[in-house]
Structure 1
Amino acid sequence: MTNTNATAKTLRDTRPVAVITGASRGLGLELARYLAGAGWRLVLTARGAEDLEKAVAEIDACAAVTALAGSVVDDDHRAELAHAAAELGGADLLINNASTLAGYDLKGDPMPTLAQFPLVGLLETFEVNVLGPLALTQLLLPQLRLKHGRIINISSDAAVEAYAGWGGYGASKAALDHASAILAQEEPDVTVWSVDPGDMRTKMHAEAFPGEDISDRPLPSAVVPAFRRLLDENPASGRFTAAGLLGQEA
């Protein structure tokens, strides 16, 4: 589905292009909403077509949005995303936001320990959280190099802290962090940031704490200013926390 506003101007449109995964809710949706308001053209994806359609409806009606439902672990879908960005003139920004906690529906169960983690679920966790983002990055790198573009890989404090029950998710995010750092060394024409947004009041976070009240966590919209600062100030590649970007850390 495509928001066709300003479609007639697409061939001459010089507005920057962002590709955002996991864009149907939470942080991905808030970042899409912000970038749309800032004049970016967007290529959005998420697994659920219905949720993605609702998300697009929430974004500024004047924004140019291409929405393609699918999974980042699907080869054909990644190719569709890269093609969509190329049709707009090439990606200036890739936000790898799509993630999974355990690779399967927890159904109200607590996060599995490593001793109990189903290997199929562990494989899916790494596919969604590490391999999918890297594979999409590979496809978009030719576009990003030409634009001296930027990549934001969404990380977590679980990548650096040892939390019981978060072994699969944390290990996958640690792998993504390290891959981000190496990619930054290998791609001098592209800026690569790994960003820990901190705890947020999201559906995924609620699934990690079944039955618990997480209303004390900030909404994803509260951390968007951190990403705005990152894009505005454009520091060198590296790992950042939203709290640090917001001046909330020493």
Structure 2
Amino acid sequence: MNTRARARVALVTGGSAGLGLALTAALAEQGWHVLTDGRREEKFEEAGLPDEVTVVVGDLTDADHRAELVAEVERRGRLDLLVHNASTLGPLPMRPLAEVDIGDLQDVWRTNIGGPMVLTSQLLPWLRDSGGVLLSISSDAAVHHYETWGLYGASKAALDHVTLTYGAETGVRAYAVDPGDMRTAMHQDAFPDEDISDRPLPATVVPRLLALLDTRPQSGRYRAEDL
């Protein structure tokens, strides 16, 4: 690999809303060239991202879409940061494990762990060549057990494990970060009858993620509030 591009390059999945959007905008403001994706083009039109951001519309579970993302990285000749932010809660309203079926499991698993795992493998040559960072957005549901959160929590626990195993196997700095509760559409979907206006906005988490990228501690699982 030849990391010929001058600007640092990041790929942030799920950058059309929430934490993904806030992080994408912040990285671009710091001079990164950011690639991001999402399933709905109109969400990106609403977001108004700067020119330093390249948007690839599609679904991370689709092999052709992942190939497009890899082609964008190859075109730039480097990748300094890969952020797995895109995820799904699964069927709504969220239900106990006894009420979900194998189709529900497959849908959550493909989005939250299958797509990220395959994409990471495809992009490892660029990450390793640049001494880059692999960052996966986790959840407290990965380590705690909440009613109706079983599918999502299990997928996040698996993402943590896969992320940190990539770090152990490759030497790439790898982090699984629990951002804490945030005022996002996904969080509202999880609590449809609650007022979540007391939750912090995703933008408040971004400085903590940027601090992690600056300090580059040992690979591991971290809580944003501790950074």
The TM-score with structure 2 as length reference comes to 0.96
Does residue 167 of structure 1 match 2:150? Answer: yes
Q: Which amino acid aligns with 2:162?
A: A
Moved more, 17-26 or 45-54: 45-54
Q: Does the aligned pair in 2 maintain the 1:45–1:69 contact within 8 Å?
A: yes
C-alpha displacement at 1:12, in angstroms? 6.8
Q: Which amino acid aligns with 1:88?
A: R
Given the superposition, is the C-alpha separation of residues 114 and 12 from structure 1 closer, same or farther in structure 2, using an over 3 Å criterion? closer
Gaps of 5+ in 2: none
Q: Which amino acid aligns with 2:22?
A: E
Q: Which amino acid aligns with 2:126?
A: Q
Moved more, 19-28 or 46-55: 46-55
C-alpha displacement at 1:64, in angstroms? 1.9
C-alpha displacement at 1:17, in angstroms? 0.3
Moved more, 124-133 or 177-186: 177-186
Q: Does the aligned pair in 1 maintain the 2:85–2:137 contact within 8 Å?
A: yes
Aligned to 1:70: 58
Does residue 54 of structure 1 match 2:46? Answer: yes
Does residue 213 of structure 1 match 2:179? Answer: no
C-alpha displacement at 1:122, in angstroms? 1.5
Aligned to 2:160: 177
Deviation per CA, 1:225-244: give whole Å up to 9, x if none.
11011011111211111111
Q: Does the aligned pair in 2 maintain the 1:45–1:52 contact within 8 Å?
A: no
Deviation per CA, 1:28-80: give whole Å up to 9, x if none.
0000010000000011101111112332x2x33xx422111111100010011
Aligned to 1:86: 74
What SS class does the counterpart of residue 68 from structure 1 fall into?
Answer: strand
RMSD between aligned residues: 1.3
Q: Which amino acid aligns with 2:143?
A: V
Aligned to 1:222: 204
Q: Aligned partners of 1:37, 1:239: CA distance in 2, in Å?
A: 26
Q: Aligned partners of 2:5, 2:159: CA distance in 1, in Å?
A: 33
Identity of paired residues, percent? 49
Deviation per CA, 1:113-133: give whole Å up to 9, x if none.
000013212111011000110
Q: 2:84 aligns with which of 92, 96, 99?
A: 96
Q: Does the aligned pair in 1 maintain the 2:177–2:224 contact within 8 Å?
A: yes
How many correspondences in the alignment?
Answer: 225
The TM-score with structure 1 as length reference comes to 0.87
What SS class does the counterpart of residue 134 from structure 2 fall into?
Answer: strand
Does residue 43 of structure 1 match 2:31? Answer: no
Q: Aligned partners of 1:181, 1:92: CA distance in 2, in Å?
A: 17
1:1-250 equivalences in 2 (<5 Å): 13-55=5-47, 57=48, 59-60=49-50, 63-102=51-90, 104=91, 106=92, 109=93, 111-188=94-171, 190-245=172-227
Q: Aligned partners of 1:205, 1:230: CA distance in 2, in Å?
A: 24
Q: Which amino acid aligns with 1:78?
A: R
Structure 1 stretches of 4+ moved >3 Å = none
